[in-house]
């Protein structure tokens, strides 16, 4: 059955860009009577699995929501544990990323991260920059509202410097100022843990993405779950405002 669904989805259109809200680590651990931090450690295993599974399917971009600007408000020991986990994971995984031809990118206010994290990220990004397989984008200290406001600020500065006029600003121009401007459209968003919300993630970029919510907590999410999500995606009709008849005629 697991192989069936994989073969089925490989015969269809694999989304070029998948984004994931990796949610439910804390509750997963607490349900087992463990500390939330244990859930985050276990969550790294799922990241590993998703990177491999997406590479195998030929997904070109995988954007993972790893830490939001709102997450800074968590208890300090949890924030510190997450930052340490980021450093140790990057250190341990960079070789494997290279082996799997994965290129690392980040989006978000990464300048707000501890120096150690920034250094480790810079190193991993530099070491993987020639890779041509999966692009792995980590959203760190990320806020989509911040990214959008920042884009508006950059355009206002360009107007003030007389590099552009207000009339030049359209959707395409605006898009080029977002931190995701070099990545293709997000086609599929997956959120684990049963929450049906976006939590300040990729608000602009998700405008026409297909949203998929699963009750599974992130540490329990696996290849089969990913395949199911893609299968669901492939069976949707993406109409982009047109009628079903138009879409069928276009095909």
In terms of C-beta distances under 8 Å and separation of at least 24 residues, what long-range contacts does 71-74 make, across chains too?
Answer: 72/112, 72/141
In 3-state terms, the chain is what percent helix, strand and coil (to 5)?
50, 15, 35
Task: Report the interface residues with ligand IPE, using CB under 6 A.
Answer: 21-27, 65-68, 70-71, 82, 193, 195, 197, 199
When the beta carbons of 20 and 57 are compared against ligand IPE, the nearer one is 20
Question: Residue 83 CB, nearest distance to ligand IPE (Å)?
Answer: 11
Do residues 62 and 50 lie in contact, with contact meaning Cβ atoms separated by under 8 Å? yes
Question: Residue 189 CB, nearest distance to ligand IPE (Å)?
Answer: 12
The encoded tokens of residue 218 equal 């992130």
When the beta carbons of 23 and 187 are compared against Mg ion, the nearer one is 23
Maximum distance among all alpha carbons in the chain? Answer: 60
**CA-based nearest residue to 56, from 230, 235, 189:** 230
When the beta carbons of 9 and 82 are compared against ligand IPE, the nearer one is 82
Determine whether 119 is an active site residue.
no
Within 10 Å of residue 100's Cβ, how many Cβ atoms? 17
Residue, CB closest to Mg ion: 23
Stretch that binds Mg ion, among 22-30, 82-90, 151-159, 211-219 (CB under 5 A): 22-30
Q: Which one among 14, 18, 21, 23 touches Mg ion, defined by CB under 5 A? A: 23
Question: Residue 155 CB, nearest distance to ligand IPE (Å)?
Answer: 27
Q: Which of 7, 25, 35, 71 is catalytic?
A: 71
Q: What is the dihedral of CA 79, 66, 98, 111, to 10 degrees?
A: -60
Determine whether 71 is an active site residue.
yes
Instruction: List, by residue number, the catalytic residues.
Output: 23, 71
Chain residues in the site for Mg ion (CB under 5 A): 23
């Amino acid at each position: 059955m697991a192989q069936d669904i994989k073969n089925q989805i490989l015969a269809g259109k694999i989304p070029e860009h998948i984004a994931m809200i990796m949610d439910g680590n804390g509750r997963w651990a607490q349900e087992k009577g463990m500390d939330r931090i244990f859930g985050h450690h276990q969550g790294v295993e799922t990241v590993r699995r998703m990177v491999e599974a997406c590479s195998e399917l030929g997904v070109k971009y995988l954007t993972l929501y790893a830490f939001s600007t709102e997450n800074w408000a968590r208890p300090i020991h949890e924030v510190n544990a997450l930052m340490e986990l980021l450093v140790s994971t990057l250190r341990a995984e960079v070789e494997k990323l290279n082996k799997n031809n994965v290129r690392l990118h980040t989006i978000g206010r990464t300048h707000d991260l501890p120096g150690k994290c920034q250094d480790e990220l810079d190193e991993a990004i530099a070491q993987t920059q020639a890779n041509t397989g999966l692009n792995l984008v980590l959203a760190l200290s990320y806020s989509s509202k911040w990214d959008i406001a920042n884009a508006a600020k950059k355009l206002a500065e360009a107007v003030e410097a007389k590099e552009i006029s207000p009339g030049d600003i359209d959707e395409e121009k605006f898009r080029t100022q977002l931190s995701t401007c070099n990545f293709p459209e997000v086609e599929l968003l997956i959120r684990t843990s049963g929450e049906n919300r976006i939590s300040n993630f990729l608000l602009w970029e998700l405008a026409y993405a297909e949203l998929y919510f699963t009750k599974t907590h992130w540490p329990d999410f696996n290849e089969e779950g990913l395949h199911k999500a893609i299968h669901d995606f492939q069976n949707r009709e993406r109409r982009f405002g047109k009628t079903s008849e138009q879409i069928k005629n276009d095909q």
